[in-house]
Chains A and B, each alone.
Chain A
Amino acid sequence: MTPTAEPSRRAVDPPLPLDVPARLRTKDLLSVGDLSPDEILLVLDTAEAMKEVGTRSIKKVPALRGHTVVNLFFEPSTRTRTSFEIAEKRLSADTVNIASTGSSVSKGETLADTVRNLEAMAPDMIVLRHASAGAGHLVARLCGARVINAGDGMHEHPTQALLDAFTIREHKGGFAGLKVSIVGDLLHSRVFRSNLLLLRALGADVCACGPATLMLPDMARLGVRATTSVDEAVEGADVVMLLRVQLERMRGHFFPSLREYFQRFGMTQDRLRRAAPDAIVMHPGPMNRGVEIAPEVADGSRSVILEQVANGVAVRMAVLYLLAESRREGPAGE
């Protein structure tokens, strides 16, 4: 991989954050809401140190030696699963991958039974992706392992929001007053929900844009400006984040055609001119080129899309390490 505009190495000690806690209070990371703003900053600071590990010739540290991490993926995933697995291996954890096809799930076993059986083999952590919102909460109640939500239906994807925040901070330095415009299929997006919680917690000004049929019903209550005009959303934005049109989750017709979607909402070089001169363009992937994003924008100089992927490993290392170090408690009700 070619290095993309990496900021220069720091010669001096990074400033000591004064009120940042040294460990997380939560056992599981199911929602961005599990983290206080200072805990979010702890994750980002820790990820900065983890990123350096990825630049070494031996990209491995012994921190999670002897830990067993199960990657339990009930939905297809390339990026997130690979990213977690690389993060786990760089921390020396032992990893087990389970996908729904080729496991007992395809024989009709319930999620609860799958988890109880895994629990009997005493894993330390479970990274879960599932099509149902709240699946992580169910798993966390059933077992003592730490649970990381790697995407639960249309609900949340906290590590994606954390890696987005890390990438934004690398480019913009901070979040207060930063204008972030999120454009696309808001309704079906767990990335949107997690990003919204995180960006609001850190003081960014979030504007959401998409077809009226793909809006959340309670945008105002979520503290976000909503508009159906892309030009209005992009105007002066520091960060333009595009979301994938999730055809596989759509039951019914939300817009006439993909071509019309691109004409109304697709991010083009022309539309991007309204953003701040140093605006960055983000996309959580996988991209539909020519639907939510024009290829010239995806591959353009403002795109940080591949940096997001690179940072994902460092941020997930930070989350795995900090959760392993968080306070140990048994499952609720014990």
Chain B
Amino acid sequence: MVMAAEQVARTITRIAHEVAERHRTFDDLALVGIRTAGAPIARRLSDELRGITGVRVPTGALDITLYRDDLMRSQVGPQPILRRTDVDFSIDDRRILLVDDVLYTGRTIRAALDALIDFGRPRAIELVVLVDRGHRELPIKADYVGKIVPTSPDESVQVRLEEVDGRDEVVVER
């Protein structure tokens, strides 16, 4: 166990405070969570930010399956089910906070950046992750990190969330 429920909650609150600290205006912010786990984290961040700033930050969910670089490559193993992308606001000229649960190789984030840019031209994109487990394969770095968790490549980091799994926790499994 790397993070228990109360730690997950405190971490998300802390990230929200960091976001509030680093931005002077909040009207041009928007949160976009990467499905599946990034979406509920983005919604929680949105609630926290409203509590801190009083501004309701528009929040969307992005499915990056159609932008993956390993489509048609892996012939065995489970394939992610394609989910609906829900970004029902214009991202043009906004500062987008892209939210995911775990930052690992960086390939998911690369796909998400491509997907986002097909939606418009944001003024800036910042990256929020709950866990950074290292082993980057692309030059990508998070702006807000919940916790750095050193791992070996044969381990897997599981982020479980109330909305999906019925409880909050982060565990490393081998």
Contact = CB atoms under 8 A, between A and B. Distances in A.
A binds B: yes
A56 to B, nearest CB: 7
A9 B88 contact: yes
A61 B66 contact: yes
Q: What is the interface of chain B mostly: helix, strand, loop, or mixed?
A: loop
Nearest to B163: A13
A49 B80 contact: no
Interface stretch (B11-19, B71-79, B133-141): B71-79
Contacts, number: 69
Interface string A294-334: 00000000000000000000000010010011011000000
B126 interface: no
Contacts of A10: 84, 86
Contacts of A23: 79
Interface residues of A, number: 32
B36 A13 contact: yes
Contacts of A321: 66, 82
Contact of B75 (A22, A50, A328): A328
Interface stretch (A29-37, A40-48, A114-122, A198-206): A40-48
Interface string B105-127: 00000000011001110000000
Nearest to A59: B118
B39 interface: yes
Contacts of A48: 84
Interface of B: 35-36, 39-40, 61, 63, 65-67, 71-72, 75, 78-86, 88, 114-115, 118-120, 163-164
14 contacts: A9-B88, A10-B86, A13-B36, A13-B164, A14-B84, A20-B81, A42-B81, A45-B81, A45-B82, A46-B82, A49-B83, A62-B114, A63-B67, A324-B72
Going nearest first, the 3 A-B pairs with the smallest beta carbon separation are: A61-B66, A22-B79, A63-B66
Given A23-B79, A61-B118, 6 more contacts: A10-B86, A13-B164, A49-B84, A61-B66, A61-B115, A63-B66
